[in-house]
Amino acid sequence: MKTKKEKNDDESCQSTVNPSEWKGRTIEIDDAGTGDLVGDAFIGFRDIESGKIIFQSVPVGLYNEDNKDDDRAKKHILKVIIKTLKNLKHGNGDRILLCRGNCFDLVREYFKENEIYYEPAIIEGELQDAVEGRYIEHLRKLGITSRNLTIESGAQRYFILFNWVCQDFPNRERFVKIGFPSWKKKWRKIAIKRYENNHKNKSRERDKIIRRANEIFEYMNENLPSLKEILSES
């Protein structure tokens, strides 16, 4: 397949659905969760020749405010990529198809500095599904049970995760990538407000249930026959 020029992209790019021919081995690298609000992120590797797929995690703590300015997440991603390529016995004759995401900025710099051949790619198919599936598995373990949560990233998934955080904000903010600028500027305030409103509504509902239970109990006490009446009837 011919490489194609993407809008606002100064590098040629191809899809892994039908990549151009290559005589040696090809290794695909993709990410999942790096742009999502909640949880760890994951880097996926696929050795096309053997079909082997490897996952490496990027802890959510690397996306907090203290680490953001130091690019700790990107540095961690570079570290695990160097390590995994070594484990895969990457050689000079291999081609790397690397996702275009900005989480790989330091990786691209490293590849160029060390003359490691790679091609920017739109990762589709087996690896994309696998790494997104690994991220969803991680979210399920955190307790996100929505049936609408899928491997498809985008606005719908963002709000599923955001609403989950709002439901128990004090205990769930620790799973949020709080270093995202939009979190501090906008979404954190909305999350707190929604949590407080939900908490108030639940308290009112609980008070209503207790009040109704007391009314029923009082009614039963007023209308139940006394022990004296029961004995006299016997």
Task: Kindly report, residue by residue over 43-82, the tens digit of the pLDDT.
Answer: 999 999 999 999 999 999 999 988 777 899 999 999 999 9
Helix and strand element counts for the chain (H, E)? 9, 7
Domain carrying residue 37: 4-145
Q: Is residue 227 part of a domain?
A: no
Q: CATH number for the domain including 77?
A: 3.30.420
The answer to whether position 90 is within a domain reads yes
DSSP letter assigned to residue 176: B
Q: Is 212 part of a structural domain of the chain?
A: no
More confident residue, 177 or 220: 177
Condensed to tens digits (0 to 9), the pLDDT of residues 141-166 reads 999 999 999 999 899 999 999 999 99
Count up the domains in the chain and report the number.
1
Give the ranges where the chain is alpha helix by DSSP (H): 65-68, 72-87, 105-113, 126-142, 155-167, 169-172, 181-182, 188-223, 227-233
pTM recorded for the entire structure: 0.80
